[in-house]
Amino acid sequence: MRWLMRLFASLRNASGTGEERGNSGAPVRGSDLENLKRAFQNIHDAEFVEIENERLGKVTLLYIRSLIDIKQLQEFVIAPLQRESGTDLRDIVHAAHLTALDNSEQAETAAFKGAVILHAGGRLWSVSLSSALNRAVEPSKQEAVIHGPQDSFTEQVENNLTLIRRRLAVSSLKSERFLVGGLSHTTVILLYIENLTNPELVRIAREKTAAVHSDAFFDSSHLSQFLEDHIHSVFPQFQQTDRPDAVAAALASGKVVWLVENTPFALIAPITFFDLFQSPEDYIHRWPVASFLRGMRFFAFLFAMVLTPFYVAITMHHYQMVPLDLLFVVLESRSEIPFNPFWEALFMMLVLEILKEASLRMPSKSGQTLGIVGGIVIGQAGVEANITSNLLIIHVAVTAIASFLIPNYLMTNSSKLIQFGLLGLAAWLGLWGITLGLILVLIHLNGLTSLKQPYFAPLTPFYGMDWKDTIVRLPLRWMPRRPAYLKPLDPCRMKSGNSRPEKKG
Amino acid sequence: MRTEERGASGGLWPASLGWLLVNRFQVALYVLFLPDVLIHPYMIWIILLVGVLSHFNLRILSKWLQTEEARLGYEGFVRVLGGRAVRLLAVPAAVVILLESSILTLDYLEVSHHVLFPSVSKLTFLPLLWLASVYLASQGMILTGRFVIIAFIGSLWIMTLFLQFLFPPVADYAMLLPLVPQKWDDNIPYILLTLWAAMAGPQYLAFTGSRFASTSGMFRWLALGNALSVLEYVVFFLAVTLAFGPEYMRKLDYPVVQLVRYIELPFFERLETIVVPFHMIVYIFLDAFFILILRDVLRIATGNAGQAKGFFGLAAVLWLVFIYLFGKYFWASETRHLFWIHFNSWLTGAAYALVPSFLALAALWRKRKRKRS
Amino acid sequence: MRFIIALGLTLMLAGCSWLDPATNVLEEISPTILLYLDAGGSGEETESTIVLPAVKNEKKQVVTARGWSLKEHRQKLTFGHSREFKSGQLRMLFFSEELARRGIIRHLNTMLLDQEISNRLYMAVVRGDFAGFLREQILLQKNYDRILYKMFRHYENMMTVQNLHMFLKDYYSSYADPNLPLFAVRGDQLVYTGTALFRDDRMVADVPAEMDCFFQMVDSEHGSFPAVTMPDLEVVLGKVTTSRGISYDDERGVVITLHVEGQVDEYGGDKNLGDPREAEQFIRDVKEDLEERVRGLIRSWQKLSIDPARIGLSTLTLFRERFPGGEWRRRWPEIPVTVRVDLGLTNLGMIKPVE
C-alpha cells in the first residue's frame, strides 16, 4: 500500500507544480503604512483618518468601522489627539490597551480583532476598542435546569471568561490565548488551574491546540474534531457545554477547558464515558434522588439502545422466551403484517428519524401540527393498515423518549446509530448478535481515549474511589478527593483553610 | 502499534488486576460444563483440595513474577533460559496456545450452537467471535488486560442467578448426603487431574510480567482470584446438585446450562438465551489474550523478538485459519469432541503444573549462579 | 484498511451458512402449548394431538397424528399448514392412562433432548377420551388451552403439580418415585381425580381424590390446604397447614411426624365442641383418623414397592448411605413405618349444632 502512495507523491513532485506554488510567497517590503493601505484595499468599511497633532505630527488612524466602537474612538483617541499635545503617543492617548506593534502583519491582525491602528512618529500602535455588539447573558436552552444558576455563555469569549473568573476567583486559574484558523483567526483560550491540573494534560492540550492547521473555525465542535484522538468514533471525546458552572466544576476537578470565540460552547477534556451522563442538576438534588436519576439515565441509555433490537430478536429467533399471555398478544398483532419484524422495525425507526430531523428544520409555526400529524396519525394509520404492529410503535416511541434522557446532546444520536447496528445483528443472530454488538461497543470504549487519557475510566483502569460519583452520587461530604483518573497534583478537595470569615474593620 | 501507546497513558496494570485475570482464566471453560467427573456430592471436598493445591502453585508463580527477569519480558526470558532455548521453545509454545484456545473456543461455540441455534453451524459464529477478539487484541496487551474488568462484570452476575437454588424450598439438602463417605470413588486421580486442569490458566500470566506496574504483594491478589474461582465452582456445583440430584446430574450434558433454562424470573423465562451469549465476553477476552501471546511467540520464533510492530495480522489470521480447520475436520462428532476435552485436561494440567515451577526454578538457579560468580 | 480486510474475511467465512435455515419468525410459526399423547394402534405406536393456535379470524383446531415417533407426528401435521408447528412454547404434556401404564421415558427423553422445550413442562395423566373432549371444548371456548395452563399455574400448592424437571429428578433418584396429577374426562368436564403413582416410568396405581390431600401432606415439606374433608367424622377442616418430618433409625424403621394445624370449617356430627372434654375426644378422633389414613396410604405403597414421598432420602446420613445402589427399592416393603400426627385445631366452633 505504502509504495503506491510513494509513487503518486513522486509523480506529483516531478510535475513541477510545487515550484510554482513556492514563488508567490514573500511580500514586497515597503513602508508599513503603504502595506496596510494595500492590504485594506477593497474593504469598504476600512477607514483612514489623518489627524494633525502639534508635536507628534501627522497621526494616521486605520480601523475597520464595523468592528470598533465609534463613540469610544471619538472620546479616547480622536479628541485627545486633537486637543492635547505631547512627544509620545502614550501621553496623549490614555487608553488601557495601547500597545506598540512591530510590523504591518501584526497591525493587520490587530485591526481585524477590533483595534484601531495608529501610525505616529514612524511607529505603529494599536488601541483595542472593540464594538460592544453582543448577546445578553441568557439561560441556556440546551441544558436548562430548574434550580441553579441560569446564566450561560455568549459568543464573546471575554465575557465568558468573566463568568468563569467570577466563579474561580484565584490566581492559579491560568488562561493561555491561541489564535487558530488561517482565515478566521479565532481566539481560543485554554484554561486550567495550575498546581492542580496534571501538567501532562496541560502540555498535551497546548501541543494539540498549537498543531491545529485548518483555516476557519466557526464552532468549538469544529475545533474539537482537530483536537480529538479518534475521529471515527461515535462517542464524543470532548464535552461541550454553555454553562459556566459546569465549566468551573470541571476546572476545579482538574480538567482543561477551551473557550472559543464566536460560539457559546466551551470544550472540556479529558472526559470519560460516564461524564456524558452527568448533569449539573445532580449536585442540586438530594443525593438519593440524584443517584436514582443518574441510575435511570444509564438504564434509559441501555434500554433505548437495546429495546427494539431485543423485540426483533425475540420475534425472529427466540419465540420461546415470550411469556404465554404476551405470546398470544404478539401473535395477534403480528399476524397480518406483510413484513419481517426486522424490516418493520427498520422502517418505523427510519420514519421516526425522519420526523425528528424534519421537526428540527420546520418553521416553528407549523412544527407542532406536523409533529402531531406525524406521530399520531401516521402511527395509527400504519397500525390500521397492517403495515406495522402497535407493539412496535410503542417500542419505537418509548425508545425515542428514553434516548433524550441522556444529558449530552451528541450522545443521543450516537445511541441511535448503535441501535441500528444492533438491529441488524439481532435480525441475523438474535440475542447472540445483540450481545456481540454490545461487546464490540464495549471493546471500542475500552480503547478510546480523550486527551490521551482512558475514556472508560474509572471502569478500566479501575479507580475504586471514583465510583462515588459515577453511577450514584454520594453526598458531597463523602467525596474529599478529586477524581483519581485525572491524576491531579492536589488530590484533596477538603482542606481546613478553605473557608474563613471576612474580617471587619 | 499506535494503540500500544494509547494503553500506556492509563498506566501499566496494577498488581490488583491479577485477581481478575486469575479468576477469569480459571473459570473460563468449566463453569458451563462442570467437569463430568463431579458426580458425587462429596466431590466438593475434592474441589476444595484442588483449590488449596492451586493456591500453593500460585505462590510459586508469584515468586517468578516478582523476579527482575519476569519484569523485563523477552529480555528476562533470554537471561534465564538462554536465547536459543527461548527460540526453540517458541514453536511448541505456539502449538500449545493454538490447541488450547481452539478447544476452549470451540467448546463454547458448541454450547452456543447446541442451546441457541441448533441449525446454524458453529463455524458461522467463529469468524464473528474472531472479529471481536481481533478488535480487542489490536488495542494491545495493556488494554486487553484491562478489559478483563468488563469481562468479569459481564459474567459474574450469572452466579447470582444460581443462588436461588441453594435455599429451600427448592433445595432439598438431603440430596447432598452423604458428605463424608466411607467409600470413595475409584477414579480419584483422574478426578483430581480434571479439576486441576479446570483451575489451570494462570500460567499464562507468567509471560505478562512486563505489563504490571509493580508486582509487590502479587501473591495476595492471585490467591484472592483463586479463592473466588473455588467459590464459584462450589456454588455452581451445589446449585446443580441440589436442583438435579446426583443421579440425574450424571445424565446431563451441560448441567449448568440446563439449570439456567429452569430459572424463572417474574418477566423472564428461558434465561439461557441471555446467559450463554453473555458468557461470550470471557471468551473474547481470552482469545484476544491468546492472539497477542501468539504474536509474541511468532516474533520470537522468527527471530524478530526486538520488534515493536508487526506479526499481529499474521497471528490473527493464523489463529482463525487453525481454529476453522480444526473445527471443521477434528471436531465433527461428540465422541471426537469429548476426546479433545480430555486431551485439553492433560495439556493444561501439565502446563499449569510445570510452567510456574520451571520458570521459578530457572530464575533461582540463575540467581545462585550469579551469586557464586 | 486492515479493518476492511478483517471484516471481509469474517463475512466470507461466516457467510457459508449465512442465515438460519430453521426459521423462527413469530408470524410464520404456530407455537403449540399443549400436547396429548395416547397409545396408538399397534405395539410401540403413539398418537399425538395438538391444539393449533389461531389468530384473528381463523378457527382453532385440534389435530391428531399417529406414528412411531413424536417428530414423525410433527412432520405429518406440519406439511399442509401454512405455519410450521414449533414446540418451543410447549407448556403442557398430557398422557393417556394407557400410555402411562406402558411407560413414558422414551417420550420424556425426546422432550429433554429438544433444546427448544423448557424443563418447566407441566405433565399430567388423563383418563378417558381427552382428544375428543378437547375438540368439543375448543369449539365452546377458544382459549381452552390457555385456561388449562392457568389452572396448573394457579393450583401449584393444592394439587399435585409436576413438571418435567421434577419428574425426571424423582425418576433418576434411587430414593424416590415420580408421580403425576390424574385427571378424568367426565362428560363435558375435566375433573381432577387424584395423583397417579409411578414405578420408574410406568403408572402402577393412583391415589383417589378423597385421599389426595393426605398424599400431599406426606409428600410436601410444608403444605397448605383450604379444606380437608373427613366424611367419616363429618367434619371439614379448613385453612390447614401441615409440615412433615421423616426420620429413620435402624430399630424403629421410618417414623413420619406430621404437624397439622387448622380450624373447623364445617361440622355435621353430634359432639358438642364447646365442651372441653368432648372437644378433646373429637381432636383425638381426628388425629387417629388421620394417622390411620396416612398409614393406609403408605402401606399400599409398600405393597407396590414404590416410594412417591421420597421417604428413602431420610435414610441418608452425613457419613453413610444405608442402602446404596438401589437397595432401598428392595428393602422398602419390609420396613416398619410409624405415623404420628400432632394436631392443633383452633376455632372449633361457637355455634352448637342443632339437635
Q: Three-state DSSP class for C202?
A: strand
What's the confidence (pLDDT) of residue C42? 67
Q: Which of C247, C234, C258 is nearest to C344 (CA)?
A: C258
Domain-located, residue A420: yes
Task: Write a three-state SS string for A44-76.
Answer: CCEEEEEEEECCCEEEEEEEEHHHECHHHHHHH
Please say if the pLDDT value at position B2 is more than 60.
no
Asked if the model's pLDDT at residue A39 lies above 90, the reply is no
Question: Using a CB-CB distance cutoff of 8 angstroms, which residues of chain C are in contact with residue A318?
Answer: 24
CA distance, residue C294 to nearest chain B CA (Å): 23
- Distance in angstroms (rounded) separating the CA atoms of residues C334 and B362: 68
The pLDDT value given to residue C16: 55
Q: How confident is the model at residue A14 (pLDDT cuts 50, 70, 90)?
A: low
Predicted confidence band of residue A443 (pLDDT cuts 50, 70, 90) = very high
| Residue A262 shares a structural domain with residue A365 | no
User: Is the same domain home to A196 and A246?
Assistant: yes
User: Do both A70 and A181 map to the same domain?
Assistant: no
Lowest mean pLDDT across A454-463, B113-122, C290-299? B113-122
- Mean pLDDT of the region A415-426: 92
What's the CA gap between A257 and A2, in Å, rounded?
38
pLDDT averaged over chain A? 85
Among C19, C20, C55, select the one facing A331 at the smallest CB separation.
C55
Domain membership of residue A18 (yes or no) is no
What cell does C297 get?
Answer: 396410604
Residues of C in contact with B3 (CB under 8 A): none
Structure confidence at residue A162 (pLDDT) = 92
Question: Binning pLDDT at 50, 70 and 90, where does residue B226 land?
Answer: very high
Q: Average of pLDDT values for A133-140?
A: 84
Residue A26 confidence (pLDDT): 37
Locate all alpha helices (DSSP H) within chain B, ordered by sequence.
Answer: 2-9, 17-27, 30-33, 43-66, 68-72, 74-81, 83-115, 122-137, 141-162, 188-198, 218-244, 246-251, 255-262, 272-301, 312-329, 334-372
Q: Does C9 touch chain B (CB under 8 A)?
A: yes
Q: Work out the pLDDT band at A18, boundaries 50, 70, 90.
A: very low
Higher pLDDT, C43 or A6: A6
Q: Which of A245, A271, A297 is the last residue of a domain?
A: A271
pLDDT grade, residue B48 (50/70/90)? Answer: very high
Instruction: Choose the final residue of a domain: A271, A297, A316.
Output: A271
SS3 state of residue C224: strand
Any C CB within 8 A of A171 CB: no
Least-confidence region, from A75-84, B192-201, B332-341, C42-51: C42-51
Cβ within 8 Å of residue B370, ≥6 positions away: none
Pairing of strands C179-186, C162-163: unpaired
Percentage of chain A modeled with pLDDT above 90: 29
**Residues A262-309 pLDDT 10s:** 999 999 989 999 999 988 888 889 999 999 999 999 999 999 899 999
Residue A189 has pLDDT above 50, yes or no: yes
Average pLDDT, chain B: 85
Which of the four pLDDT bands, split at 50, 70 and 90, describes residue A495?
confident
Confidence of residue C20 (pLDDT cuts 50, 70, 90): low
Mean pLDDT of the B65-93 span: 84
Q: Which cell numbers hold the place of B170?
A: 427448592
The shortest C-alpha distance from A451 to chain B (Å) reads 10
Nearest to B120 among C2, C17, C316 (CB): C17
Domain annotation for chain B: domains and CATH numbers: 12-372 (1.10.4160.10)
Cα distance between residue A401 and residue B18, in whole Å: 42
Structural domain of residue A73, as residue ranges?
32-128
C217 or C46, higher pLDDT? C217
Largest CA distance in chain C: 100
Lowest mean pLDDT among A6-15, C34-43, C228-237, C328-337: A6-15
Residue A19: its pLDDT value, please?
42
Q: Does residue A311 sit in the same domain as residue A261? A: no
Same domain? For A208 and A256 the reply is: yes
Of C20, C53, C88, the CB nearest to A320: C88
Distances (CA, A) of A292 to A285, A411, A412, B80, B89: 10, 20, 20, 55, 56
Q: How many CB pairs under 8 A join A and B?
A: 96
Q: Which of A403, A426, A450 is the last residue of a domain?
A: A450
Q: Which three cell numbers stand for residue A456?
A: 472508560
Q: Is C243 part of the contact surface with chain A (CB cutoff 8 Å)?
A: no
What is the number of alpha carbons within 13 Å of residue B200 lying toward its C-beta? 22
* pLDDT above 70 coverage of chain C, percent: 94
Question: Distance between CA A333 and CA A392 in Å, rounded?
Answer: 10
**Burial letters A435-472, b for 16+ CB under 10 A, else e:** bbbbbbbbbbbbbbbbbbbbbbbbbbbbbeebebbbee
Over residues A488-496, the mean pLDDT reads 84
Over the stretch A333-371, which tens digit does the pLDDT of each residue have?
888 888 888 999 999 899 888 888 887 787 777 777 777
Strands C189-199 and C202-207, sheet pairing: antiparallel
Across all residues in chain C, what is the average pLDDT?
A: 83
Other CB atoms within a 10 A radius of the CB of residue B255 amount to 24
Mean pLDDT of A91-102: 79
For residue A432, what pLDDT band results from cuts at 50, 70 and 90? very high
Instruction: Name the residue in chain A with its Cα closest to that of C56.
Output: A332
Q: Which three cell numbers stand for residue C43?
A: 405395539
Residue A350 belongs to some domain of the structure: yes
Which pLDDT belongs to residue A17?
Answer: 46
Chain A residues inside the 8 Å CB shell of B143:
446-447, 460
Chain C residues whose beta carbon lies within 8 Å of the beta carbon of residue B127: 9-11, 13-14
Identify the CATH assignment for C220-355 out of 3.30.300.210, 3.40.50.150, 3.30.420.40, 3.50.50.60: 3.30.300.210
d(CA B118, CA C114): 10
Q: Which pLDDT does position B10 carry in this prediction?
A: 63
Judgement on whether residues A375 and A437 belong to the same structural domain of the protein: yes
Cell of B261: 433454562
**Mean predicted confidence (pLDDT) in B201-205:** 88
Those residues of chain B whose CB sits closer than 8 Å to some CB in chain C are 114-115, 117-121, 123-128, 130-131, 134, 138, 168-169, 172, 174-175, 177-182, 243-245, 247-248, 251, 258, 261-262, 264, 269-270, 313, 316-317, 320, 324
The more confidently predicted of residues A193 and B121 is A193
What is the nearest CA distance from C331 to chain B, expressed in angstroms?
Answer: 19
- Judged against a pLDDT cut of 50, whether residue C134 lies above it is answered with yes
Q: What pLDDT band is residue A16 in, cutting at 50, 70 and 90? A: very low
Share of chain B above pLDDT 90, in %: 20
Inter-axis angle of helices B43-66 and B334-372, to 10 degrees? 40
Q: Is residue A497 domain-resident?
A: no
Q: Tell me: pLDDT of C319 over 90.
A: no
Minimum mean pLDDT range among B4-13, C110-119, C287-296: B4-13
Find residues 222-251 of chain A whose CB sits inside 8 Å of chain B.
229
pLDDT confidence of residue A68: 87
Subunits close to C (at least 3 CB pairs below 8 A): A, B
Q: What are the backbone dihedrals phi and psi of residue A136, each rounded to the nearest 5 degrees, phi first?
A: -75, 160
Tell whether A108 and A167 lie within a shared domain: no
Summarize the confidence of residues C31-48 as an average pLDDT. 79
Cβ burial, residue A16 (10 Å; 0-12/13-18/19+): exposed
Residue labelled with grid coordinates 398424599: C215
Neighbours of A497 (CB within 10 A): 5
Residue C303: phi and psi, rounded to 5, are -60, -40
**By the 8 A CB rule, do A419 and A399 touch?**
yes
C167: how many CB neighbours lie within 10 A of its CB? 22
The arithmetic mean of pLDDT across residues B149-175, rounded, is 85
Whether residues A423 and A359 fall in one domain = yes
pLDDT score at A27: 41
Same domain, A331 and A402: yes
**The pLDDT of residue A24:** 38
Confidence of residue A102 (pLDDT cuts 50, 70, 90): confident
Residue A259 in domain: yes
pLDDT at A21: 42
pLDDT at C72 over 80: no
Q: A304 and A227: one domain?
A: no
Is the Cβ pair A431, B116 closer than 8 Å? yes
Calpha distance B127→B123 (Å, rounded): 7
A26 Cβ neighbours under 8 A, 6+ residues apart = none
**Domain count within chain A:** 3
Q: Which residues of A touch C146 (CB under 8 A)?
A: 324-325, 328
Grid coordinates representing C88? 418451543
Residue-wise pLDDT tens digits, A365-395: 777 777 777 777 888 888 888 888 888 888 8
Which sequence spans correspond to the domains of chain C?
A: 27-207, 220-355
Say if residue C140 is exposed, middle or buried (CB neighbours under 10 Å; 0-12, 13-18, 19+): exposed
Grid cell for residue A249: 466544576
Kindly state whether C1 is in contact with chain B, defined as any CB-CB distance less than 8 angstroms: no
pLDDT at B231: 92
pLDDT at A86 over 80: no
Please state the φ and ψ torsions of residue B194, each to the nearest 5 degrees. -65, -40
- A:C CB pairs within 8 Å: 53
